[in-house]
Amino acid sequence: MNTTTLAPAILPASPAPIEIRELSFSYGVKEVLHRVSLVVEAGSVYALLGRNGAGKSSLIRCLLGHQPAASGRARLLGMDSWSERARALARIGVVPEEPDAPPHLDCAALEAFCADLYPSWDSTAVRRRLARFGVPLTTAFGELSKGQKSQALLALALGHSPELLILDDPTLGLDAVARRAVFDELIGELGERGTTVLFASHDMEGIERIADRVGILAAGRLFVDEPLEELRQRFRRINGSATLEPSDLEVLAPLLPQGVRTLAWGREIVVTQFDDREFAPLAARLDLAARAMSLEEIFVVLVGEDAA
Amino acid sequence: MAASLHIDSSSPQPIWSQIEEGLRRLVTSGSMAAGQAVPSVRDLARDLQINPATVSKAYQRLTDAGVLVVRRGEGTFVAAEPPALPQGERQRVLGSGADRYAGLALSLGASRREAVEHLQERWADLLDERKENR
């Protein structure tokens, strides 16, 4: 008997660009990250949100191997971010929160310096990006504006065509024009090369349009980790022309009311499991209206109560 | 063209679906003629400041529906003919559109007459727009 078995092609499953498992980190007795797990899939944009001090920067520092985790692990492109740091970083672009480069070097010198470090460096592309941003090549880094510094570092971070880009709030403190330029460049990068991006940010408006998935950190815990679209689908503000009574909350129970806010013009309920089929009959009976919420509004509802 | 495509990121409708609907509308109204090139995924993503994957998803759905055609190496274009759907599929698509509109009208407490009047009015508007564009 002569049979041929067609073995299924065995493709090496490529690891997710970022994989963080049960990662904890402490400064002395103060735990700043508590068993954080998240995965960033290839070609996706993951937005990491949180108030100042929530642990975003600590998480990024652990991820980049600047500090070892107390427990758990982080992997970059399948490599351990602490023990295999150097090998991993060669394939990653990083834009830090504080634009940091030798202040006396100009961009031409910085570009030449980086070119020596990476075999795959593309000088033409870097200079083109700097020109698009309008960052002068011959001004010392220390003399550039905050926006230009961020833009210069983004141009340099993309110089070796990294598979993964890690951005720690690069648009913080930038004006609208500089912010837009940064997003334009990122969108171009996503379109041309499908780079995977982890983006820690406070810029909800910009993030909302490009993120695929959102993680929200508060007090060192990642308590939201879901696709942006799902998050936006399940949150609604519900208002009524008549004043909503506490008993109405029971009626809305299946939609999981998050709380009632008394406003000058009545009351408002935020629900976290909105479902139009449940809501439509209630809306007609109680004269209610549901309004979609922006990512910023959702964020404030989710973490706002920790403010105190 | 991007000027007449509006994205509202605070709308409950996903952005890809807003693009899909917006383009469909531009094609139906004749604002975009048969055979006309649509912007590349990259250009549209940059204009609207959104993730190119989102634009891609909308284009893919419109291509599957026969509204757009991809010519390899050239780009994406408005299909020459309005997509001819098989009879059963056509009934299903019309029906589900009608469902959504009827459901919306009912949830707003509109009367049947009111709903039909709005439909007729928009129907006439769209036909007018199409004539102007031809």
Tell me which residues of chain A have a pLDDT lower than 50: 1, 306-308
Contacts of A191 in chain B (CB under 8 A): 41-42, 45-46, 52
Question: What residues of B are in contact with residue A206 (Cβ under 8 Å)?
Answer: 49
pLDDT over 50 (residue B40): yes
Q: If we measure between CA atoms, which residue out of A209, A279, A278 comes closest to residue B54? A: A209
Question: Please, which pLDDT band fits residue B1 given cuts at 50, 70 and 90?
Answer: very low
Least Cα distance to A254 among A222, A223, A281, A230 occurs for A281
Distance, in Å, from the CA atom of A307 to the CA atom of B109, rounded to the nearest integer, reads 41
Starting at the edge strand found earlier in the chain, the sheet holding A213-218 runs: A92-95, A164-168, A196-200, A45-50, A213-218, A221-227
Question: Most B CBs within 10 Å: which of A210, A213, A214, A294, as the mutation test of the B interface?
Answer: A210
Predicted complex ipTM: 0.78
pLDDT score at A40 = 97
Nearest to A191 among B9, B45, B107 (CB): B45
CA-based nearest residue to A167, from A193, A194, A197, A191: A197
Q: Which residue did the predictor score with more confidence, B114 or B96?
A: B114
Q: Do A209 and B7 lie within an 8 Å CB cutoff?
A: yes
- Chain B residues with CB under 8 Å of a chain A CB are 7, 9-12, 14-15, 41-42, 45-46, 48-53, 103, 106-107, 109
Chain B residues closer than 8 Å to A183 by CB: 49
Q: Is A249 exposed, middle or buried (0-12, 13-18, 19+ CB in 10 A)?
A: middle
Classified as helix, coil or strand, A201 is coil
Which pLDDT does position A244 carry in this prediction? 67
Average pLDDT over residues B80-98: 77
A187–B11 CB contact, under 8 Å? no
CA distance A36 to A32: 10
Is the Cβ of A177 closer than 8 Å to some Cβ of chain B?
A: no
Residue A302 distance to chain B (closest CA, Å)? 17
DSSP class of B39: P
Cα–Cα distance, B54 to B41 (Å, whole number):
9
Residue with tokens 């504006």: A145
- The DSSP output letter for A306 is G
Cα angle, residue B46 at apex, residues A230 and A128 outer, rounded to 5°: 130
Alpha helices in B72-111 (DSSP H): 87-107
- Which residues have a Cβ under 8 Å from the Cβ of A88 and sit 6 or more positions away? A65, A76, A77, A79, A80, A81
How far are the Cα atoms of A164, A196, A197 from residue A44, in angstroms, in the given order? 10, 5, 6
- Contact: A205, B51; criterion CB under 8 Å: no
Taking Cα atoms as reference points, which of A66, A72, A65 lies closest to residue A25? A72
Question: Does residue A280 sit at the B interface (CB-CB below 8 Å)?
Answer: yes
How far out from the chain centre does Cα A221 lie?
15
What pLDDT is stored for residue B30 in this prediction?
Answer: 79
Contact B9 A294 (CB under 8 A): yes
Task: Quote the pTM value.
Answer: 0.82
C-alpha dihedral sign at A290, A292, A297, A298: positive
Give dist(CA B38, CA B41) in Å, integer: 9
Average of per-residue pLDDT values in chain B: 86
Report yes or no: A241 at the B interface, CB cutoff 8 Å. no
The minimum CA-CA distance between A70 and chain B, rounded to whole Å, is 35
Three-class SS of residue A188? Answer: helix
A182 interface with B at CB cutoff 8 Å: no
A209: nearest CB among B49, B107, B109: B49
Nearest to A212 among B7, B10, B51 (CB): B51
pLDDT above 80 (res B131) = no
